[in-house]
Amino acid sequence: MASLKSLLASSTRLVLTLKQQSNVIYIKRTFLQPKVTLFKRPESVLQWKFPGGCISFRQPSSSTAAKAGQGEDSFLKWFLLLIPATTFGLGTWQVKRRQWKLQLIDDLTRLTTAEPIPLPIDPHHVNSLEFRRVRVRGHYDHSKELYIVPRSPVDPEKEAREAGRLSSSVESGANVVTPFHCTDLGITILVNRGYVPRQKIRPESRVKGQVEGEVELVGLIRLTETRKPFVPKNDVERNRWHYRDLEAMCRVTGAEPIFIDADFGSTVPGGPIGGQTRVTLRNEHMQYIITWYGLCAATSYMWYAKFIKKIKV
């Protein structure tokens, strides 16, 4: 009994001490469990209340959550507007590209149909005259022919119709490049006489077409080419050229770095077919314009329906 009274006295002193140090917890001397009340205040504060104190937990209010949701919707709204804006910009860019391409085609047409001029002797001057028609007089040196392979005959109307297609003409042959000594200029240049089918590549198979003596011809000035990806390297030893490398061709033939494509009027019976200059340019920009502006219209309507009219799409 004395021990129980001593335990109660110690407990009383402990409670008084805790009460003085904190107003949060108050413990009654009772053998019953403390009453705990949990309720929610209008300002979204959760409190855990028990005799002698309480513990509060503040929750985000509905207005705060609504503001956060509105912020996210606003960001998504203006972010998705970039899609029609971008497609509109791409369509406008294609309009300008089409104008540039049409102007380029017009310039090439005027160059390739203009009256021929005498061939300049200065190679530096020639470099600024690509696709310009020139007139030369002289004779061929058939013993040093070069062959650009594989080549198909040029048909401008057909190539304009088939521009952009993966397939092309199955007819294959070569373009015959022959040194041409200009008697009035005293220099030797290279002339692409034109196309021959595969069975006519060897000179002895087209003896009638090997022009002898002095001739006058008209051609278009062409510049050197850079090897494109996937194009084989030129095989100088076997005389198989895949692209126009003027430096190497002139080194083999001893000609000046001047190259012209003979026009169709230079063609002789049994010889190469002249006029093998490809000046057809792909012009598919109208398709791109329709595509980009169509996407702009469709995405603009979807954006308007979603964020302005609030229609579920």
Q: What pLDDT digit, counting tens, does each position of 36-54 carry?
A: 444 444 445 555 555 555 6
Would you state the structure tokens that stand for residue 281, as one six-digit string? 């340019």
Q: What is the pTM of this model?
A: 0.64
Sequence letter at residue 66: A
Domain ranges of the chain: 18-60, 135-274
Q: What average pLDDT does range 133-158 have in this prediction?
A: 89
In terms of Cβ atoms closer than 10 Å to its own Cβ (0-12, 13-18, 19+), residue 54 is middle
- Summarised one tens digit per residue, pLDDT across range 97-107 is 999 988 988 88
- b/e for 91-112, b at 16 or more Cβ within 10 A? beebeeebeebeeeeeebeebb
Residue 81: pLDDT band with limits 50, 70, 90: confident
Structure-model confidence comparison of residues 293 and 109, the more confident one: 293
The share of the chain scoring above pLDDT 70, in percent, equals: 70
At residue 86, the 3 state secondary structure works out as helix
